[in-house]
Every structure is written in C-alpha cells, then in structure tokens.
Amino acid sequence: MLKGGLIGCGFFAVNHMHGWNMAQGADIVAICDRDPARLAAIGDAFGISALYSDAARMLAEQDLDFVDIATTVPSHRSLVELAATNGLHVICQKPLADTLEDARAMIAAVERAGKTFMVHENFRWQSPVRAVIEAVRGGAIGTPFFCRASFRSDYDVYANQPYLATDPRFIIQDLGIHILDVARALMGDVERIAATTARINPRIAGEDVATMLLTHHSGMTSVVDCSYASPRRPVTFPETVLEIDGSTGFLRLDTGYQLLIQNSAGEVRRDVSPPLLEWAERPWHNIQESVALIEQHFVDSVLSGQNVETSGRDNFETLKLVEAAYLSAETGSTIDLSVL
C-alpha cells in the first residue's frame, strides 16, 4: 500500500481526498496546509490526524511514498522540488507551472530522483471524453482530420475559485489548458497555434474568452474554443463538446453527454454520462469522477512501474500550447511551437 501526503487543503482538495479514499493501493496518511482552518476541515472530514502547516516538516517526519500537490501554481515548483529531494513520487495539479523554465526544472528534479511525475491533468480522464478517445484511437472514424473542442458557459467559476478573477492570465491557463490537452490526446502533438482572446466580464483581470487554431504534426487541424462569458441556457458547465471529422466517419460528443458516431456501419448513439459517485454533486460529477480515475492511474502506474499518461514530460507539451497561445494573442501572429 502506497502512503501519500496531500499538500493543499483548499477548494478542490476535497475531491482529491474522496478520490484517494476510492483508490486501490494507496492511502493518504498526512495532510498539509498553511491555513489552519482548511487543514482542520479536511483532517476532520477524512479522519486524518497527521496535520502539518509546513510541507518540509511533513516530509521529514512521515514515511511517505508520494505527495499529491493540490496547491495553486505559485507553490508548485518549490513543492515538487522538495518532494524530489526527499525521493518521493509526485502528482501535481495543473497548471504545472507559470513558466516553461519552472516546468523544465520540475521535470528534471523528479527525473534525477528516479521517481514518477504525473500532472493532475484530469479532463482527458473524464469518462465521456475517454469514450471519445477510445473510439477515435480504435479507428471508428478512420483518420481524424478536424477536431473542434469547445467549452462555453457563463458559469460563476469565481465563486469557488476567487483567484481566477484576479490572475492576469485566466481562461487559457486555467481551463483552456484542459481543452488543449484533450485536443492533443485526440489529434496528437501540435506544430503551431494561432489564438485570439477577449475579456467580456469587466470585473475580472484576465481573459475569459479564447479561440485557438492548432495545426498538428500530422498536418490536421483543431479548433479549441473556450468561454466563461457565454449566457447560453441550459448552462452546460463543465462539459466539453467535441466534434471530429475522420476519413471514414464523424463523431460528436454533445451536451448532455450524448455520443454520436456515424460511419459506414451506420449510426450509433450512446449516452456516456458519467456516474454520480456518492460523494459527488452535479454539475461537478463529471470532473469529480475523473479525479478518482486519474488517481487510480497514478497508483497503478507507480505500483507496476509503467509510464503515467499525463507525465510531466507529456504535460510540458500542453503547457507549451498555453504559452504559445498567449504569445500568439499578444503578437497577433501564429506561433511555431519549436521556438519555445
């Protein structure tokens, strides 16, 4: 049984803890947060008595196999490097880093330690998205040549995550990163990107709309469009709508988690709604289930010695897309990923 320590007991950490409770092969035995009230709340809710306000002290006193970093991005590099120095496996929330330089240093630190480094990039682990990835990789529509990955609503995301309203970078770094990662999972790595951004909500600091055009190494195209300023009803947060044209068929993951596949065999419609786990609540259940799935993948990979799917190195390619999208929006030019 792997023993883990959770660092960061904020808004999203409760989902991490429920996921770890479900995971086979791992237990969280200690938790850490600088905020005593948040630390106590998670400790009480999950019956954990090893509580720390300092991560270095937790790592020094506890005999851990891994850490789960659920803090926001400013602390990610120092915490990942701390874990690597202590010879631990690491799973760290997205966005991995504020800069590519930080991300490179984190990847190198865990590699030097010879440990597993996984980024908690969970959207590709959502079961409806997974159903699409499996269908496409299984050849249901032949070779995909066009993908639209779309995430649009006016959901009040700032209520739970107030830092999103004040960060100078918002939708690409926080949400677009997930949708760009889904596009990579479906269509492969990217050669160049062009992006436009806008701020529609005047009460926030960053951009709440982004439209990105990706040219993949295969020469094929994806459009990734994200908005937290779209007053559509019903509100479809947090669903990703996917449309993919392939050489021999068409696939759509529509709102309401409805999957349509058309090909020479005919037309298949499937309800691929995620289960409502007993600790989950709508509309977050889609994301909540993916937390449990990604954590189980991490445990299985560490125990079996297999590579994790969203490793630090893999996720670096998604992070490059984020950086390149901001650069493109700033300069009005298409960015070749090889320059980063």
Q: Residue numbers of the site for ligand 89V (CB under 6 A)? A: 157, 161, 174-175, 178, 238, 287
Q: At closest approach, how far in Å is the CB of 93 from ligand 89V?
A: 8
Handedness of CA 67, 73, 328, 133 (dihedral sign): positive
Instruction: Output 192 or 297, the one with its CB closest to ligand NAD.
Output: 297
Return the residue nearest ligand NAD (CB atom). 10
Alpha-helix runs per DSSP H in the chain: 13-22, 36-46, 55-61, 76-85, 100-113, 127-137, 163-166, 171, 177-187, 285-304, 312-331
Which partner, ligand NAD, ligand 89V, none, binds residue 7 by CB below 5 to 8 Å per kind? ligand NAD
130 binds ligand NAD (CB under 6 A): no
Q: Does 310 bind ligand NAD (CB under 6 A)?
A: no
Nearest C-alpha neighbor of 31 from the set 14, 43, 23: 43
Secondary structure (DSSP) of 270-320: EE-PPP--TT--TTTHHHHHHHHHHHHHHHHHHHHTPPPTTBHHHHHHHHH
What, of ligand 89V, ligand NAD, none, does residue 13 touch, CB below 5 to 8 Å by kind? ligand NAD
73 touches ligand NAD (CB under 6 A): yes
Instruction: Give residues with Cβ within 8 angstroms of 83, minimum separation 6.
Output: 59, 66, 67, 69, 90, 110
Q: With CB cut-offs between 5 and 8 Å by kind, which of ligand NAD, ligand 89V, none does residue 238 bind?
A: ligand 89V
Find which of ligand NAD, ligand 89V, none residue 11 binds, CB within 5 to 8 Å per kind: ligand NAD
- Among residues 26 and 82, whose Cβ is nearest to ligand NAD? 82
DSSP calls for 179-193: HHHHHHHHH--EEEE
CA angle 133, 138, 142 (to 5 degrees): 100
Residue of 115, 112, 70 whose CA lies nearest to 89: 115
287 binds ligand NAD (CB under 6 A): yes
Q: Mask: binding to ligand NAD, 164-183, rule CB under 6 A, as x and -? A: ----------x---------
CA 301 – CA 297 distance, rounded (Å): 6
Choose the binding region for ligand NAD from 30-38, 80-88, 150-158, 216-224 (rule: CB under 6 A). 30-38
CB closer to ligand NAD, 161 vs 221: 161
Applying CB under 6 A, which of residues 30, 42, 64, 71 lies at the interface with ligand NAD?
A: 71
The mark string for 144-163 relative to ligand NAD (x by CB under 6 A, - otherwise) is -----------------x--
Total residues at the site for ligand NAD (CB under 6 A)? 26
175 binds, among ligand 89V, ligand NAD, none (CB under 5 to 8 A by kind): ligand 89V
Of 163, 67, 164, 122, nearest to 284 by C-alpha is: 122
